[in-house]
Amino acid sequence: MSVNTESLQSKKRPSALSSNLQLRWRLFTRKYANLTGAKHIVVRLAMYLLIIGLAFVFVYPFLYMIATSLMSNSDLNSSSVHWLPTEIKFENYAIALQLMDIGRFVKNSLFVTVVASFGHVIACSFIGYGFARYNFPLKKILFGCVLLAFIVPTQTIIIPLYMTYSNLKWLDTYLPLIVPTFFGFGLRGALYVFLFRQFFLTVPKSLEEAARIDGCGFMMTYWRIVFPLAKATLVVALVLSVVWHWNDFYESSLYISSPALGFLPPRLTSIITATNALPEQQAEMLRMLGLEDGEDTLNDAVVMAGALIISAPILVFFAFAQRQFMQGIERTGITGE
């Protein structure tokens, strides 16, 4: 009996020891898992704080612009008012609208922006498809010229461009801003050619071969098969073209001298000029605009209101196209795979 009991106790000891080790291992793994989860929370919290800080850097100018545009003259001169105005003053927007004569100049900006952006999308996609799919003499040299046109600033070639348009009798018209876009040139046209070319390199050639077997020609294959696939890249090129044409001040100020053909963004200088005028001149401007003298003054709040009015169409456009734009950035095939 004593031998049997000793053998049973010796058998129970390893099992009890193993169960104890298993219990300790479970407690250790749970403690490590909780510690890892805490680390994840700390890392994620730090990441969110970093993102919020970076976002605030970009959002701060817009918040400042909105807050300042609603301030009165007394709030601007008060050291205790920084963000929240004591009195919301929407009259600043009315003054800015009348000084910029928005009804006439917004039509000019919309016309050139829409037509030039349409020309960029159609022409640059066609040129990019040619570079991606077809072999022709001097292909690499011509594509190098495209990249060179993207790298070289417009200011370095503005004199020959001005002389060319002058010889063509295109000055003081919209032709220098519109016609080059339909040939893949114009404002940042080389960038759009590069984006479309990189995307079309990722399209399988089997789709085009199947279209040719079905009897589709070159134009039908491009227009019905290939071009619809480039929707993401099209959105990227369209957003960039719209933003750059809307905000362009350099070329438009050189080629167009008639005030009736001017655009909306340069009209912000008229508000700045009125703001820096003498008090007597400001009072005369306000009387000409039909505004009461006194609190309705020309100040930095009116300038910020004008800047917000000019930026509003682009902000609304980007708000609707934001998701497609970000998807297009991911799918444009920048890697060339």
* Alpha-carbon span 173 to 185, nearest angstrom: 18
State whether 110 and 190 are in the same domain: yes
Domain extent, residue 197, equals 91-331
Residue 75 inside a domain? The answer is no
Neighbours of 238 (CB within 10 A): 20
C-alpha distance across the termini of the chain, in Å: 80
pLDDT in tens, 113-162: 999 999 999 999 999 999 998 888 888 899 999 888 888 888 888 999 99
State whether 260 and 114 are in the same domain: yes
State whether 228 and 304 are in the same domain: yes
Residue with tokens 């050189």: 254
Decide: 120 and 237 in contact? Cβ < 8 Å.
yes
Residue 81 inside a domain? The answer is no
* Alpha-carbon span 236 to 199, nearest angstrom: 12
Residue 86 inside a domain? The answer is no
Q: What mean pLDDT, rounded, does the chain reach?
A: 81
Residue 72 inside a domain? The answer is no
The number of folded domains in the chain is: 2
Residue 203 inside a domain? The answer is yes
When pLDDT is cut at 50, 70 and 90, the band that residue 21 belongs to is low
Instruction: Supply 267's token pair.
Output: 């009209």
Neighbours of 185 (CB within 10 A): 20
Position 245 scores a pLDDT of 92
State whether 149 and 54 are in the same domain: no
State whether 36 and 181 are in the same domain: no
**Which has more confidence, 159 or 32?**
159
Position 91 scores a pLDDT of 84
Instruction: Supply 143's token pair.
Output: 């594509």
Residue 279 exposed, middle or buried by CB count within 10 Å (0-12, 13-18, 19+): exposed
Position 29 scores a pLDDT of 57
**Which has more confidence, 229 or 39?**
229
pLDDT in tens, 78-113: 777 778 888 888 888 888 888 888 888 889 999 999
3-state secondary structure at position 264: coil
Whether the pLDDT of residue 1 is over 50: the answer is: no
Position 169 scores a pLDDT of 92
Position 20 scores a pLDDT of 63
* Alpha-carbon span 335 to 332, nearest angstrom: 9
* Alpha-carbon span 247 to 327, nearest angstrom: 24
When pLDDT is cut at 50, 70 and 90, the band that residue 77 belongs to is confident
**Which has more confidence, 192 or 103?**
192
State whether 102 and 27 are in the same domain: no
Q: How far is CA 138 from CA 102, 131, 142, 199, 209, in A?
A: 48, 11, 6, 21, 25
pLDDT in tens, 268-301: 888 888 777 777 777 777 777 666 554 567 788 8
pLDDT in tens, 212-225: 888 888 888 888 88
Whether the pLDDT of residue 28 is over 70: the answer is: no
When pLDDT is cut at 50, 70 and 90, the band that residue 12 belongs to is very low
Position 246 scores a pLDDT of 92
State whether 157 and 305 are in the same domain: yes
State whether 42 and 112 are in the same domain: no
State whether 191 and 125 are in the same domain: yes
* Alpha-carbon span 170 to 204, nearest angstrom: 43
State whether 281 and 181 are in the same domain: yes
Among 8-17, 56-65, 135-144, 171-180, the minimum mean pLDDT is found in 8-17
Residue 50 inside a domain? The answer is yes
CATH for 211: 1.10.3720.10
State whether 298 and 151 are in the same domain: yes
Residue 183 inside a domain? The answer is yes
State whether 110 and 221 are in the same domain: yes
Phi, psi for residue 55 in degrees, rounded to 5: -65, -40
Residue 78 inside a domain? The answer is no
Instruction: Of 108-117, 232-241, 248-257, give the range with the top mean pLDDT.
Output: 108-117
pTM of the model: 0.76
Q: Spell out a b/e string for 86-116, using b for 16 or more CB atoms within 10 Å of the CB, else e.
A: eeebebbbbbbebbbebeebbebbeebbebb
Whether the pLDDT of residue 26 is over 60: the answer is: yes
